[in-house]
Amino acid sequence: MRFRVRTDPREDAGADGEILLDWFEDDRAGSTVWYDAPQHPFLKGLVPSPVAMDLLRLGGAVFCADKIALREHAPDAWTRELTLTLPVSDPNLWSTAAALVENTLGSLSGDRWSTTFILGLPREDDEHEDTEEGPVLPAPAADAVTLFSGGLDSLAGAIELLEDGQTLILVGHHDSPFTDHIQTELFRQLAGQFAAGQATQRRLLLRPAPRNNRQARALPGGPGEITTRTRSLLFLSAGVAVADALGAGTTLYLPENGMIGVNVPLTAARVGSLSTRTTHPRFISHMVELLGTLGLDHPLENPFRLATKGEALVRSPRRDILDPLALASVSCSHPEAARWHTGRKGNCGYCYPCMIRRASLHRIGLDDASEYDRDALTDIDLLSRTDLESGRDLRALLASLGQPARTVDVLRNGRIPGGETRAFFELYCRGRDELRAWLTDGGSAAIIARLG
């Protein structure tokens, strides 16, 4: 599929076969990419460099393309051929980075990407000019930026950094009201535990827009793709945009446990996993190289890169803050699915990220089955009914734990750069031990039997 981004309606609409990702900040109704929410502009008072804004648009365009192009239409029902034309501030600079961009996207999503960078039309950025209501306030001062998804890892990471005395901007992305609510409510409770102004929040709304007759070329109809691995790039590029507005050298923190970071497939038959790869060492090394090529000086730091999720919780310097807020976080790969069973949204309890979450909470004595849609420890149907899609991850996890861990396992989603393969393998073994302890201590007789 071919995609073309336009940031101005005067730009070339390309061929009829191209899908237009129209990103018009002054014409929300005519856009096919929804960016920002009028009531809380993501970059209000912040002025990233043109190249940082290019990167944010690249992340947003890739995310939208990923959601639109269905994998089931690919010859192997997985690997898509995707081309993207993007207007940027400096096509020569971006053209030198094109091969790196394509390799990064390929390793992230498992697809074959082709990118073309063209000169965008100059646009007077009036978002930061004085308005009738008065001058726009300056951006808040901050020491660093940290990604804040509403999950348990990002919560633990923010607590560590705030307790260390840093002033932070917490950046979140959402494409549904539920995710926005989780991030905002968790932030409100977290910020109340520290000094006023020590933590501020930035909320990015970005997703493909609903079809309407104002759009030059409406997006394809029907359900969207669910294997949106490229959200990682969007999330990271949003953080870079905010960090860039604060100044060169501003660090972007990406708190995610290393077990999810390396994302070892549970079985050989599974295609890597459908979850994102925000902090896989290979992806991070690509992004560090890309930022350097583009002249964006922002260190990427993951405080939990060599920690299991349980270890990240155990080491928290403020368990008095973490423990009460932990159950309000959401770590699920499909947090809105539970509404079909219980009428409420949240952690499903049976996807792989939920089981890693429960194992980590078990380690600190906070695991509570009542917080989940289904209890993977005791729900016999998840094991016995192979027709149940909801039991697939549990069955795969038990099969994986029944096999010895091998160093090659941590390489199946990409090489580990920097000579750290052994360190990540040892991390993987500790993560398996956490899962096994949770399953053994509370699992049904059927689970215990499968563990052997």
Per-residue pLDDT band for 338 (boundaries 50, 70, 90) equals low
- The reported pLDDT for the residue numbered 269 is 57
Whether 250 shows a pLDDT value over 80: the answer reads: yes
Whether 276 shows a pLDDT value over 90: the answer reads: no
- CA 171-176-178 angle, to 5 degrees, is 85
Mean pLDDT of 202-212: 95
The count of other CB atoms within 10 Å of the CB of residue 404 is 7
Provide DSSP, 173-213: EESSHHHHHHHHHHHHHHHTTS-TTSEEEEEEEEEEPPP-T
- The reported pLDDT for the residue numbered 164 is 98
Phi and psi at residue 21, to the nearest 5°: -100, 80
Provide DSSP, 266-306: SSTTS-S-SS--TT-HHHHHHHHHHHHHHT----EE-TTTT
Mean pLDDT of 336-365: 83
- The reported pLDDT for the residue numbered 26 is 85
Residue in the structure block whose two tokens are 């038990």: 398
The count of other CB atoms within 10 Å of the CB of residue 270 is 16
Mean pLDDT of 412-416: 89
Per-residue pLDDT band for 326 (boundaries 50, 70, 90) equals very high
68-126 tens-digit pLDDT? 999 999 999 889 999 999 999 999 999 999 999 999 999 899 899 999 999 998 865 54
Whether 342 shows a pLDDT value over 50: the answer reads: yes
Mean pLDDT of 212-221: 94
Give the DSSP H or E segment for 262.
helix 258-262
Whether 138 shows a pLDDT value over 90: the answer reads: no
382-397 tens-digit pLDDT? 999 999 999 999 999 9
Q: How far is CA 264 from CA 115, 205, 400, 409, in A?
A: 29, 30, 10, 6
Phi and psi at residue 146, to the nearest 5°: -135, 140
- CA 157-229-170 angle, to 5 degrees, is 30
For residues 86 and 3, the answer to whether their CB atoms sit within 8 Å is no
Collapsed DSSP state (helix, strand, coil) of residue 11: coil
For residues 19 and 211, the answer to whether their CB atoms sit within 8 Å is no
Residue of 279, 283, 288 lying closest to 157 (CA atoms): 279
Per-residue pLDDT band for 156 (boundaries 50, 70, 90) equals very high
- The reported pLDDT for the residue numbered 278 is 78
Whether 207 shows a pLDDT value over 90: the answer reads: yes
Q: How far is CA 319 from CA 191, 233, 316, in A?
A: 15, 31, 6
Per-residue pLDDT band for 452 (boundaries 50, 70, 90) equals confident
Per-residue pLDDT band for 139 (boundaries 50, 70, 90) equals low
User: Cα 404 from chain centroid?
Assistant: 30
Per-residue pLDDT band for 267 (boundaries 50, 70, 90) equals confident
Q: Which residue has the higher pLDDT, 37 or 67?
A: 67
Phi and psi at residue 199, to the nearest 5°: -130, 130
| Beta strand 199-208 pairing with 33-35 | antiparallel
280-301 tens-digit pLDDT? 999 999 999 999 999 999 999 9
Mean pLDDT of 399-415: 93
